[in-house]
Amino acid sequence: MEFSLLNQSPILKNHTVKESLQNTINFAVKAERLGYKRFFVSEHHNLKTLIGTAPEVLVSHLAAHTSKMHIGAGGIMLSHHNPFHVAEQFQLINHLADGRIDLGIGKAPGGTPDATKALQHELKDDIAPFNDRFVQLKKYLHGKHSNADELKISPDTDNPPDLFLLGGSVSSALFAAEENVNYMFAHFINNDVELLKEVAKNYKNNARKGKFIVALSVLVIEGEDSKAAMIKENEYYQLLYKDGRKYRVITEEQAETFVKNSDEEIEVVKKQPDIIMGSPDEVLEQLTELNKDNYIDEFMFHLPTTDPEIREQTLEALAPVNTIHNSEKAGIV
C-alpha cells in the first residue's frame, strides 16, 4: 500500500495565482520529504478556480524541484492532444527526470465547452475514438507502431514513462486491464463504494500486471462545524447526458454554460460531495474499510479545499513516514 497526491493547483484563499503556483511547488517538495509515492497534477481549462492548464509544463517544473518522488499527469485529456506529441513530451521529461515520470491519460474535457472548442479547433472532424487514440499513444511510447523504424518519439525509448488510464467505470477498468496498463479510479468524482468494489475486482481479476489506484477526497479536519463548511465549499453540479456520461462542474454558472452550448439534452443535479474527513486515525480507519478486500494498491489523495492550512494539516497528518511506513502505524492500512 502506498499514499500519493493529486494536486489540481487551486487558487488558494487569499492567494494570487503566482502564490498558489508556488504553493504547488512547495507542496510537492514537502510531499517528497514526507514519503508520498507520487504527485499528480491535473489538466483543466477556462475555470476560475484552477490554474493547471498544462500538466506537461507543471510536471517538468516539479520534477526539477524533486529527486525521488514520481511526478505525473493526472491526467492529460487525450481528446485535446496529438498522441504522438504527448508521447514525445513525456518521454523527453522522463529522460530529464531520470525515469520518475508517470503519464496518466483521461477522457473528460476538463473544462468548459468554449475551451473544448478552442482546443480542438484544428483537429479533424473524423478524430479517432478515445480508446483507439490511447492504444496509439501506448504504441508510440513502446515503439510498437506500424512504422516504428522510421518514426520515433526519441532516440532512446528503452525507459518510457509509466502509463496510467484514468476512469470511473467497469468498462474503462477492463480496457486498462486488456491494455496491461495501470488504472486510476476517480472515486472523488463518482462516490459509489459498490461501484468502486466492482471496478477493483474486475481490474484485478483481468490485469496481468499493473497498479489499481483510487483517487479520493480526503481532509484531516475535526469538528462538525468545520466539516459542514467543507461540504458547503465543495457542493457541485452533476451533468447527466442521455448516453450515460456524467461530468461535474463547480458552479451553477458553469452548468448553465454547458447546457447553453450543447446540442444534447443535459440534466443538471446539484450534489453534495463525499469527503473522507476526521482525525488522522479516523481517516485511516475509513481507508482500511475501503480496502478490506485488498484490491487497492495505492490511495491518491485529492484535498478539496482552498484553505492552505487545512491542506498542510492533511498532508502532514497522513504522511507515509508517519503512517504506512511507520512500524507502529503500518497495520492500520
Domain range annotation of the chain:
2-234+274-332, 236-271
For residue 221, CA distances in Å to 26, 38, 224, 299, 323 come to: 21, 23, 9, 18, 17
* pLDDT tens digits, 31-49: 999 999 999 999 887 878 8
Task: Calculate mean pLDDT across residues 64-73.
Answer: 97
pLDDT at 68: 96
- 3 state DSSP class of 117: helix
pLDDT at 124 > cutoff 70: no
pLDDT at 313: 96
Read off φ and ψ for residue 248, nearest 5 degrees: -125, 140
Task: Calculate mean pLDDT across residues 69-83.
Answer: 91
Match domain 2-234+274-332 to its CATH number in 3.20.20.30, 3.40.50.2020, 2.60.40.1180, 3.40.50.2300. Answer: 3.20.20.30
pLDDT at 241 > cutoff 90: no
What rounded mean pLDDT belongs to the chain? Answer: 90
State what percent of residues in the chain have pLDDT above 70. Answer: 92
Beta strands in 128-211 (DSSP E): 162-167, 182-186
